[in-house]
Amino acid sequence: DGGITQSPKYLFRKEGQNVTLSCEQNLNHDAMYWYRQDPGQGLRLIYYSQIVNDFQKGDIAEGYSVSREKKESFPLTVTSAQKNPTAFYLCASSSFREHIGTEAFFGQGTRLTVV
Amino acid sequence: SQQGEEDPQALSIQEGENATMNCSYKTSINNLQWYRQNSGRGLVHLILIRSNEREKHSGRLRVTLDTSKKSSSLLITASRAADTASYFCASWNQGGKLIFGQGTELSVKP
């Protein structure tokens, strides 16, 4: 089945620790995105990538890092510099047709908690 | 930066009633999309309306777009308890970012 997979579903981080969230898609989409969602809030863009080996900062990139070495994969690392990382993280992918974005497909999310 | 602002933030209705959610956006768009999110889950795409369309239907969903007012509305007719979810509008900006509104939390009581 085609889709986008995030893992793990739940993740616990100790203070000062880096953690990496996985996002894989087999939809052959060029573009991938990471969003953060806090309780009762909308989605805020962390990083996005429109092509392999290239990515751009979103609105809240501080304390996060990404890589895009393969088309299928876009892992997000939450570093110790992110002071308030407890949130729900969503990964998405989409295609572009004639430079116009189409619908995005989302993974099921990773809930990160600092302990 | 939020491209879309949604109204109301929360909506509670009885089963069988219609639910209307509104979205306003700031910059010009090629298309506008609506998504649904069940609690604790990922978002699911519902419908996409292009900038040259004024209205679009999909089952019990009806979306309108008024580019002169930079606004869109999502109407769910004959709502069901299973429609309880958060609904978000989203649009692409010039830089290729998909930007979401704050969402409307819909509660449909049986």
Q: What pLDDT, in 10s, does the model give residues B34-54?
A: 999 999 999 999 999 999 999
Contact between B89 and B98 under an 8 Å Cβ cutoff? The reply is no
Q: How much is the pLDDT for B29?
A: 87
Q: Spell out which residues of chain B touch residue A46, defining contact as CB-CB under 8 Å.
A: none
pLDDT at B1: 46
What's residue A96's pLDDT? 75
pLDDT tens digits, one per residue of A63-112: 999 999 999 999 999 999 888 999 999 999 998 766 677 899 999 999 99
Inter-chain CB proximity A90 and B43 less than 8 Å = yes
For A101, name the nearest residue in chain B, comparing CA atoms only: B92
Interchain proximity A109–B42, CB inside 8 Å: yes
Q: Is the separation of the CB atoms in A51 and A70 below 8 Å?
A: no
Which of B21, B91, B100, B102 would best serve as a mutation to test chain A binding (most A beta carbons within 10 A)?
A: B100
Q: Which residue in A103, A113, A98 sits closest to A21, CA to CA?
A: A113
Cα dihedral across residues A28, B52, B91, B87: positive or negative: negative
Decide if A50 and B96 are in contact by the 8 Å CB cutoff: yes
CB contact under 8 A, B97 and A96: no
Closest CA to B87 of B21, B24, B22, B36: B36
Interface probe for B, chosen from A90, A103, A113 (most Cβ of B below 10 Å), is: A103
> B105 touching A, CB under 8 A?
yes
| Cα separation, B8 vs B106, whole angstroms | 9
Question: Among residues A8, A4, A2, which one has the least CA distance to residue A31?
Answer: A4
User: Is the omega angle on the peptide bond into residue A8 within 30 degrees of 0, that is, cis?
Assistant: yes
Residue B81, SS3? helix
Enumerate residues 63 to 92 of chain A having a beta carbon within 8 A of any beta carbon in chain B.
88, 90, 92
